[in-house]
Structure 1
Amino acid sequence: MTMTNGDTEQDARAAEVTEFPYVTVTTQASGIHPSTARLVAVDVLTFNEDGEIGEEFHAVLNPGSDPGPRHYHGLSHEEVAEGQRFSQVLRTLDRLLDDRTLIVHNAPRVWGFIVSEARRTMNAAARSNRSRGRGRGRGRRRRQRVGHVPKPAAIVDTLATARRQRIVLEDTRLAALALVLKVDAESPVATVERARLPEHETTRELNDMLIDVYFALRDNGELCITTPAELRADRFGLQRSHVRVDAVEVPRPHPNPGTHIAGGNLKRGMEVVIAPEVETDPDVLIEAALKAQLVYSEKLTRTTSLVVCNETSDLRGKAMHAARKGIPLLTDAEFLAAVAKMGTKSQNQRS
């Protein structure tokens, strides 16, 4: 059998993936939500079980829109203006990410930006190709082939892993987690000296650190792993599980009975918010809530009945706001027990 160039290229790439099966990605963006912000920089490192680096890639990206404040990502407006379009780097990202285990810190956000930018690029290319196809006569330009949404074999989220492993974080940034894990890292607190460093240097430093954090977490316990097929964008463009996104859209058949009373029973229609600081997979908690005819909400509001959170001191985020509003907190174990009690009560009533 004669080997074609395509076969040779596929075999060579398969060998690269086998030799360096992992890839870390660290991004810089103009804001926090992929639906409204844009990527301005991306850094990629492939590596193996020994932590040896295979390929390195870094690009400053010009989104063609407001890049946001320099202190947020370390790039001046002039540097962003000189950057590449995402369409120019997508095929490189495809080659580096496809079939590898992708490690990121805060997967909903980082993977959300990658998917959002890829789809935006692909849609723009499709529109351009359709307009070319309507042209007549000679001189038509070639169709654009910009690549596809990357297809990693799996996605490991180091932030979610830290929470599942009950690692207490006063600061959720990667460097703060590294310090807790005794990984060599500088404080994440901003300094004048660090602000003067070029973006490619600080982003690469974080991406290198991500490799060490991944190995430390893997040695410490179970990793939080998902696949692209299990995720989709929520209304903010964050890539979350189908369970989580669907739960927000479920109709509310029962009126909200109000705030849960500590020590009392849960009631159908109560609105439940789940804080990030839980040990149980949030999808398990969400499914339990829906099965008990409770209502799941991403956002804490005046209609919230209770918040599931395992932290009881040094509260932050949703748990802190709940405490201020007088909304009770239940640990994941307490919540699941209360849900089970609802089921037992219903069975007793029927019998």
Structure 2
Amino acid sequence: MVARAAAVIRVVVDLPFVPVTTTDRLPSPSWRSSDLSSVIATRPPIIAPAPRPVTRDAQRAAEPAPSATRPRVVTIPSSLSRRKSGGDTRRCRSSVVRGPCHPRNVSDADAECRGLGGSWGRPASEPGAGWAVVDVETSGFHPGQARVVSVAALALGDDGNVEGTFSSLLNPGVDPGPTHVHGLTTEILAGQPTFGEIVDELKDVLRGRTLVAHNVAFDYSFLAAEAELVGAELPIDTVMCTVELTRRLRLGTENLRLETLAAHWGITQMRPHDALDDALVLAQILKPALAGAHDRKAWLPVRPVQRRSWPNGQITHDELRPLKTIAARLPCAYQNPGRFVAGRPLVQGMSVALSSEIGHTYEELIERILHAGMAYTESVDQQTSLVICDEAEPDQGRGYQANEMGVPLVGDADFMQLLERVVGGTGLEEFTDATLSGDQFALF
């Protein structure tokens, strides 16, 4: 018998070494069950897969409530609309109030309907709605800090004749300031009414008229500051400064102070720096000044002013800024046609700069530039169409820069004649993207 030999085959398989790691997780906080008898077992957290990235444009905001997307339409009262000389009332479309953080313009409702240049100045030959000559005496020079201690207002017709008078001393509640100027002491002002007590009477004189003052920015800013302190609204839509008006008449006086102008026209000034007396003197100055502007075919420096109603009910009156500051930032409704060519007419859209060598005042020329549909610029560059300058070879300023750059120079008298015939320009196309109108998108 042959013994069988068992062959043992050893197979060795080399497997890659895979380390086994374990992660010790801290158990999530266990809370006792309602019966406080056992501890709720914890389980490892379930980690959700990361969300697919979404582009910013595709992130739509939540749909707003119907009341939030419904615009509030404000109808401008007919009493605020501005009447033209022919008696027709120019209608203006109702304005849509924006979000609750935006104020609402409650001043002249026809301002949006007029052109960009039609709001500043008007020919002296055009009839107006009358004037309200105002003078104030104050305790200082800074509105909001100093107070009004005396005010006077005269209602005048368009021809300059006095139709009504109002004046009052005021108790400012503070030190009256320079008593050596206005002569009003604390003892005199004690017991006098406050501005809030007389503001309604003052508004009756101002309503529907253009406010007139000698250096109107000073008087208007103080009246506006006092009105805002008592929560009142002044019904003033336009103002006019007699300093600028008499400057356009080229009277040849040493200066344009009130007493100098009074002496020029033979007007007696009884009590300088008395509000009522100064207002009476200014009313007598205004009448010949208006006649002189009519004879010279000059424009009256009438300026629009605005006031705003805020959501909290507060009324604020905008600051009266220089015209050249506003005009330099106004967009023009026409394309720039390029350089002015001598012998050819002006074209709407031309960019016009002013040098210091001119006979007319800056404001008068800017009024005419805007009214003609041209643009005013404070700098001279390759886009400037012409520079108004009375000297052919100026040695400094914008006139000198214009000669260096080849920009034509035009005298102010010649420019005023050219304004009689201005060729219409090419309007700018308004771009509006209506595809996203009414939709709301997330910014981030």
When normalised by structure 2's length, the TM-score is 0.43
1:244 match: 325
Q: Please say if 1:41 is aligned against 2:150.
A: yes
Shift of 1:148: 0.8
Q: Report if the CA contact (8 A) 1:91-1:148 is conserved.
A: no
Deviations 1:167-189 (A, max 9, x none): 34434431211222x242249xx
Q: Report if the CA contact (8 A) 1:23-1:47 is conserved.
A: yes
Deviations 1:256-300 (A, max 9, x none): xxxxxxxxxxxxxxxx999xx972218949x8563438xxxxxxx
Distance change in 2, residues 1:51/1:217 (3 Å): closer
Once residues 174 and 260 of structure 2 are traced to their aligned partners in structure 1, the CA distance between those partners, rounded to angstroms, is: 31
Once residues 376 and 157 of structure 2 are traced to their aligned partners in structure 1, the CA distance between those partners, rounded to angstroms, is: 38
Amino acid aligned to 1:220: G
Distance change in 2, residues 1:81/1:336 (3 Å): farther
Q: Report if the CA contact (8 A) 1:41-1:61 is conserved.
A: yes
Q: Report if the CA contact (8 A) 1:33-1:238 is conserved.
A: no
Ranges in structure 1 where 5+ consecutive residues have no aligned partner: 1-9, 123-146, 188-193, 231-236, 249-271, 294-309, 311-331, 346-351
Once residues 248 and 184 of structure 2 are traced to their aligned partners in structure 1, the CA distance between those partners, rounded to angstroms, is: 34
Out of 163, 166, 172, the residue aligned to residue 57 of structure 1 is 166
Out of 356, 361, 373, the residue aligned to residue 279 of structure 1 is 361
Distance change in 2, residues 1:23/1:278 (3 Å): same
Q: Report if the CA contact (8 A) 1:30-1:39 is conserved.
A: yes
Flag the structure with higher helix content: 1
1:184 match: 267
Out of 224, 230, 245, the residue aligned to residue 301 of structure 2 is 224
1:329 match: none
- Say which SS state the counterpart of residue 306 (structure 2) adopts: helix
2:399 match: 337
Out of 194, 199, 209, the residue aligned to residue 281 of structure 2 is 209
Q: Please say if 1:156 is aligned against 2:246.
A: no
Once residues 245 and 80 of structure 1 are traced to their aligned partners in structure 2, the CA distance between those partners, rounded to angstroms, is: 39
- Say which SS state the counterpart of residue 240 (structure 1) adopts: coil
- Say which SS state the counterpart of residue 37 (structure 1) adopts: coil
Once residues 365 and 141 of structure 2 are traced to their aligned partners in structure 1, the CA distance between those partners, rounded to angstroms, is: 23
2:187 match: 78
When normalised by structure 1's length, the TM-score is 0.53
1:92 match: 201
Q: Report if the CA contact (8 A) 2:151-2:276 is conserved.
A: no
Once residues 246 and 101 of structure 1 are traced to their aligned partners in structure 2, the CA distance between those partners, rounded to angstroms, is: 21
Shift of 1:111: 1.0
Once residues 224 and 149 of structure 2 are traced to their aligned partners in structure 1, the CA distance between those partners, rounded to angstroms, is: 14
Give the RMSD, CA atoms, in angstroms. Answer: 4.2
| Equivalences for residues 122-201 of structure 1 within 5 A | 122=231, 147-152=232-237, 154-180=238-264, 182-186=265-269
Amino acid aligned to 1:205: D
Once residues 326 and 176 of structure 2 are traced to their aligned partners in structure 1, the CA distance between those partners, rounded to angstroms, is: 28
1:292 match: 380
* Aligned length in residues: 226
- Say which SS state the counterpart of residue 275 (structure 2) adopts: helix
Identity of aligned residues (%): 24
Q: Report if the CA contact (8 A) 1:24-1:44 is conserved.
A: yes
Q: Report if the CA contact (8 A) 2:132-2:155 is conserved.
A: yes
- Say which SS state the counterpart of residue 140 (structure 2) adopts: coil
Shift of 1:228: 1.3
Amino acid aligned to 2:206: L
Distance change in 2, residues 1:112/1:19 (3 Å): closer
